A and B are shown apart, each in its own frame.
Chain A
């Protein structure tokens, strides 16, 4: 696409040539700033076995401002709300132009491995997590099975 900054081209090429294990990010055919992302649920987490679809958008100001990322697949997680919005500092005030799509997706993968109910976005989930962790994990596993297995990418 004309006018696409070299940084975005290079990041896209590297994401495809040297992908992060468990993560794929493919630019949309009609908009090179819009990525279709798939994150595999990390092993030993209640999301294991699931494939989570996300959308990632690079705003005009990128990399001076953070990418916008959202879960498209329903997920039971204290730091991700019903609309798929993510509570992650590097997507907000801790963003730096030295960070990349790759590092953002790695952070999201890490968030799936280590949910943080003390800094929740969805309090209902967070409360459940703190009150009955085993029950919450079972619920997360149930969501994974229901929404993130055998699911197709959203159109």
Chain B
């Protein structure tokens, strides 16, 4: 679900956003019951003045009108700018009974403990929409809505005190101001600090490993003191700046060094090798940029499929992923009907697998001219792969060597093998083949 939210927002990134700070006024939607009115308000306009306006517009005694944002009643002396409301944001006006006392607050996230305020949020949106354009992390705005009607006119009994309060619905209780809601609870969520005109509901995923570096901790990689930073969930809480985190992710992705963990998906641990240090929310990897993130998702899907016992059709031009429910090495692709050996990924054969030849097309019947032509075209690709790669002696994965020594470690099956002998690494290889 979350990845869908991100992909929708990413698709709409072309619209960019209108910059906030340069505007002298802010357009704010104020909802009062079923009425919604847009007000163009000066940044210095106070909540008290807005209440007077609402009181006059709706003909309600001033003391009964309250303005609500993110679960709290806003104090009169707060200006619109200070209230944390962004361009095109929604404020909620509620009518209280004359006797009711509602305590006004001056802020919305001030009660979150110091180290955990101002969480960053996806969508990582930039005006740069080219492929591979960098995704920027933006601060998120904490908001609250009713679990039943989805309306923001909710008053919470207290502000969230921790990430658990924010991420677990029901930990903070509150009351929806709608007359029709029963058994509802407040649900916290985040909006991007920037205005996304015309985008989906503006909900953003909280990147809770990213925090402002208030303690001025050095990055474990570059030693710079920057903010915000990624704080790994290890016992030592190792810190990495966003730039190094991006590089770290890209390098590890390139080396196929991510690991599949049941709880967290396809992820990375703290670079210091600490126990229990995996990034627990996959949207953090959006930092790599759109192209790399897409690649990350492909790899993750592949690992997931293979771990679940599925296969990809090895025939070039096909690559269909599917689950295999038949025993034995003989597998038939449901898409192109190519019959292949599950162990070596080559065309089905008698006897032991030979990883040295890749004859996936040899036994094909090309009665279909289009397929025959495509095979011709792809034969060149197959030849290039044949020339530039060698098959892992453990699992047949085509492997390219782009430097370093002859001691290969297969990212897929973990086999240690010799590039020269194309067999398991042994003492002879260790002494004679290390550097070729």
By secondary structure, the A interface counts as: loop
Interface contact A97-B271, CB-CB below 8 Å: yes
Interchain CB contact (< 8 A) of A123 among B224, B272, B404, B430: B430
A123 touches B220 (CB 8 A): no
| Chain B residues with CB below 8 A from A96, complex form | 271-273
B318 within 8 A of A: no
- Could you tell me if B220 and A98 are in contact, using CB atoms closer than 8 angstroms? yes
When the two chains form their complex, are residues B272 and A98 in contact, meaning their CB atoms are under 8 A apart? yes
Question: Which parts of B386-436 form the interface with A (CB within 8 Å)?
Answer: 404-405, 407, 409, 427-428, 430-432, 434-435
A87-B434, A120-B431, A123-B430 given as contacts; is B273 within 8 A of A97 (CB)?
A: no
Q: Bound state CA distance, A64 and B243, in angstroms? A: 12
Known: A96-B272, A97-B244. Is A7-B221 also a contact (CB below 8 A)?
yes
User: Is A48 part of the binding interface, using a Cβ–Cβ cutoff of 8 Å?
Assistant: no
User: What is A's interface to B at a CB cutoff of 8 Å?
Assistant: 5-7, 10-11, 61, 63-65, 81, 83, 85, 87, 92-93, 96-98, 119-124, 126
Residues on A with C-beta less than 8 A from B221 are 7, 63-64, 97-98
Assign chain B's interface to a size class. Answer: 20 to 34
A10 touching B223, Cβ below 8 Å: yes
* Chain B 85-125 interface residues, beta-carbon cutoff 8 Å to A: none
Of the candidates A6, A97, A122, the one having the most CB atoms from chain B within 10 angstroms of its own CB is A97
- Nearest CB on A from B418, distance (A): 14
Cβ-based interface call for B385 (8 A): no
Residue from the list B220, B409, B430 in contact with A119, Cβ < 8 A: B430
Q: In angstroms, how far is the closest chain B Cβ from the Cβ of A117? A: 11
Give the distance in Å from the alpha carbon of A89 to the alpha carbon of B155 in the complex: 57
Chain A residue nearest to B255 (CB atoms) is A93
Tell me if A92 and B431 are in contact (CB < 8 A).
no
* Distance of A85 Cα from B407 Cα, bound (Å): 14
Residues of chain B lying within 8 A (CB to CB) of residue A98: 220-221, 238, 270-273
Q: Is residue B336 contacting chain A, with contact meaning CB distance below 8 A?
A: no
A61–B435 Cα distance when bound, in Å, is: 22
Q: A97 and B435 in contact (CB under 8 A), knowing A7-B223, A123-B430?
A: no
Which of B273, B407, B409, B430 is packed against the most chain A CB atoms within 10 Å?
A: B430
Nearest CB of B to A116, in Å: 11
B251 within 8 A of A: yes
Q: How many Å lie between the Cα of A122 and that of B248 in the bound state?
A: 33
A61–B250 alpha-carbon span in the complex (Å):
12
Given known A-B contacts A96-B271, A97-B220, A98-B221, A122 and B431 have beta carbons under 8 A apart = yes
- B247 contacts chain A at the CB level, 8 A cutoff: yes
Complex CA distance for A85 and B405, rounded to whole angstroms: 11
Query: What would 17 A/B residue contacts be, using CB atoms closer than 8 Å?
Result: A5-B222, A6-B223, A7-B224, A63-B221, A63-B222, A64-B248, A64-B251, A81-B434, A96-B271, A98-B220, A98-B221, A98-B271, A98-B273, A120-B430, A122-B431, A123-B428, A123-B432
User: Which residues of chain A have C-beta atoms less than 8 A from B222's C-beta?
Assistant: 5-7, 63
In Å, the complex CA distance between A119 and B224 comes to 38
A6 contacts B248, C-beta separation under 8 Å: no
Q: Which 6 A-B pairs have the closest CB atoms?
A: A123-B431, A98-B272, A98-B271, A7-B222, A97-B221, A10-B223
Q: Are B251 and A92 in contact (CB under 8 A)?
A: no
Tell me the minimal C-beta distance from A65 to chain B in angstroms. Answer: 7
B273: chain A residues within 8 A (beta carbon): 96, 98
Question: Among the listed B223, B247, B430, which residue makes an inter-chain contact with A64, where contact means beta carbons less than 8 Å apart?
Answer: B247
- Known interface pairs A7-B223, A98-B272; A120-B427 also in contact (CB < 8 Å): yes
Contact of A121 (CB < 8 Å), options: B247, B271, B409, B434: B434
Measured between beta carbons, the chain B residues less than 8 angstroms from A5 are: 222
**Which B259-283 residues have a C-beta within 8 angstroms of A?**
270-273
Contact A97 B432 (CB under 8 A): no
- Which residues of B351-404 have CB atoms within 8 Å of chain A's CB atoms? 404
CB distance from A102 to the nearest CB of B (A): 12
- B93 CB → nearest A CB, Å: 51
Name the residue on A nearest B409 (C-beta).
A93
**CA A122 to CA B432, docked complex, whole Å:** 8
Give Cα A123–Cα B428 distance, bound, in whole angstroms. 8
Neighbouring A residues of B430 by C-beta, 8 Å: 87, 119-121, 123
